[in-house]
Amino acid sequence: MLNLREVHSGYGPCEVLKSLSLEVRAGEIVALLGANGAGKSTTLLTIAGVVPVRAGEITWQGAPLPNGKADAVLRAGICLCPEGRHIFPRLTVLENLISGSYLLPSNRNAAKLEEIFGYFPLLAERRNQLGGTLSGGEQQMLAIGRSLMGEPKLLMLDEPSLGLAPQIVARIFEIVRLINRTGVPILLVEQNAQQALRIAHRGYVIVTGRNQLTGTGAELLASDEVRQAYLGE
Ligand SMILES: Nc1ncnc2c1ncn2[C@@H]1O[C@H](COP(=O)(O)OP(=O)(O)OP(=O)(O)O)[C@@H](O)[C@H]1O
Ligand SMILES: [Mg+2]
């Protein structure tokens, strides 16, 4: 479905991705792991069209993905749920959710809200509360819910568990798995390598913008390199 072939990208004089290749196939959860500054967020921003590709190519469903055009990428069905959530603090939970569906006819909103409130009943209870007054975990749920409102064909999640209590983290991973079971492929960037690899079909480890290691979730979990570098063993 999504293919990155030897992609280079970066910011001004600073090249961050240096020939990165990766693939997300239909129905998969793919984990993207790497140290701080390795280029994980840059990878997602490059796919999302926020950071342009300088060399190499990205294809989506067999055709080139519009380069550096965030709007066109979103219209193609690829949605990034960014690092740090970026919900609208002065809009209510419900307004935040509806904002995620602006590309779609509004008669689909009710069914989508029902699905999202099924994943996160707490958001239903707090539908009229301002986004900025939610806890960190609730804001993360809201950010994921808002992404789902656009009916993505590929969902990219950047560090959804960052800074959250273990119970909430477990819940978020469970929901990611449930979303995937509805047929949505997921590209998941995570610090929490162990839990990410447990739910991922495949994963990639990147080092300074280059491919280091790839394999199934189980292979990477068992690999000495991953265990030492990311699981603290
Ligand atoms: N807007 C920007 N302008 C210039 N350099 C940037 C910008 N954003 C990121 N970088 C640099 O690009 C490199 C990769 O950053 P990126 O955010 O992709 O890393 P990451 O793997 O997501 O790290 P983390 O785990 O800390 O989130 C870093 O050296 C960072 O300083
Ligand atoms: Mg990052």
When comparing pLDDT for 224 and 229, which is higher?
Answer: 224
Ligand 1 in contact with 16 (CB < 6 A)?
A: yes
Q: Can you list the pairs that 195-200 forms with residues at least 24 positions away whose Cβ atoms lie under 8 Å?
A: 195/161, 195/169, 195/170, 196/31, 196/33, 197/31, 197/33, 197/221, 197/226, 198/173, 199/29, 199/173, 200/29, 200/30, 200/31
Q: Is the pLDDT of residue 67 over 90?
A: yes
pLDDT bin (cut points 50, 70, 90) of residue 4 is very high
**Burial of 62 by CB count in 10 Å (0-12 exposed, 13-18 middle, 19+ buried)?**
exposed
pLDDT at 59 over 90: yes
Mention every residue, 6+ apart, whose C-beta is less than 8 A from residue 61. 1, 76, 153
State the pLDDT confidence band at 233, using cuts at 50, 70 and 90. low
Helix (H, G, I), strand (E, B) or coil at 31: strand
Q: Is the CB of 14 under 6 A from ligand 1?
A: yes
Condensed to tens digits (0 to 9), the pLDDT of residues 100-132 reads 998 888 888 999 999 999 999 999 999 999 999
Q: Is 128 in the pocket of ligand 1 (CB under 6 A)?
A: no
The β-bridge partners of 187 are 30, 156
Ligand having the closest approach to the CA of 51: 1
Residue 68 has pLDDT above 80, yes or no: yes
Question: Strand, coil or helix: what is 217?
Answer: helix
How many Å apart are CA 152 and CA 63, to the nearest integer? 17
Residues of the chain with pLDDT > 70, as a percent, come to 99
221 pLDDT band, cuts 50/70/90, is very high
Nearest alpha carbon, ligand 1 atom 10:
11
Dist. CA 15–CA 37, nearest whole Å: 12
On whether the CB atoms of residues 196 and 33 are closer than 8 A, the answer is yes
Q: Which residues of 117-142 are buried (b: 16+ CB within 10 A; e: fewer)?
A: bebbebbeebeeebbeebeebbbbbb
Q: What is the pLDDT of residue 104?
A: 86
Q: Which helix (H) or strand (E) holds 3?
A: strand 2-11
Give the confidence band of 232 by pLDDT, cuts at 50, 70, 90. low
Q: What is the pTM of this model?
A: 0.95
Cα–Cα distances in angstroms (integers) from residue 185 to residues 88, 92, 107, 157, 209, in the given order: 26, 28, 25, 11, 23
CA distances from 27 to 102, 120, 225 (A): 25, 22, 27
Give SS3 for 140: helix
* Separation of CA 182 and ligand 2 centre (Å): 27
**Could you tell me the distance, in angstroms and rounded to a whole number, from the CA of residue 16 to the centre of ligand 1?**
8
pLDDT given at position 180: 98
In DSSP terms, which residues pair with 189 in a beta bridge? 32, 158
74 and 103 Cβ atoms separated by less than 8 Å: yes
**Alpha-carbon dihedral sign for residues 79, 42, 188, 218:** positive
Average pLDDT value over all residues in the chain? 95
Which residue's entry shows tokens 């690092």?
83
